[in-house]
Amino acid sequence: MPRIKIVSTPEGPGVPEEIRKGWIGVEFEALGPFSRQVESVLNLHEHHGIRGVYEVSLKVALQALKEKNYKSWEWFSKQRVLAPFFCFEAKNCKEI
């Protein structure tokens, strides 16, 4: 399982850009990279095509975000329903 670092602002329909920028610099263990259908983290019925991604569990991703950017973590923690995992496009990540 590779360890990745988010190196550029990930996409995220419905998530303010300032909040998405909070992921930059966050590091964690992830599955991937692999190609898969990507859904919105806020709306599981909203699809965004097949992309090369790394997949991270919701719990791991949010804990790492909380340590790096509390404001972004706070925004995500207030959402009522989130996907059980986050997919970060490989183009926004660097294996470390």
Q: Could you tell me the pTM of the whole model?
A: 0.85
Each residue's pLDDT tens digit, 28-82: 999 999 987 766 665 555 556 667 899 999 999 999 999 999 999 999 999 877 7
**Res 7: pLDDT:** 98
| 3-state secondary structure at position 95 | strand
- CA–CA separation, 69 and 84 (whole Å): 20
Q: Which amino acid is residue 82, in one-letter code?
A: L
Instruction: Tell me the DSSP string of 34-83.
Output: EEEEEE-SS-TT-EEEEEEEEEEEHHHHHHHHHHH-HHHHHHHHT-S---
**Res 88: pLDDT:** 93
21 C-beta neighbours (distance < 10 Å), count: 15
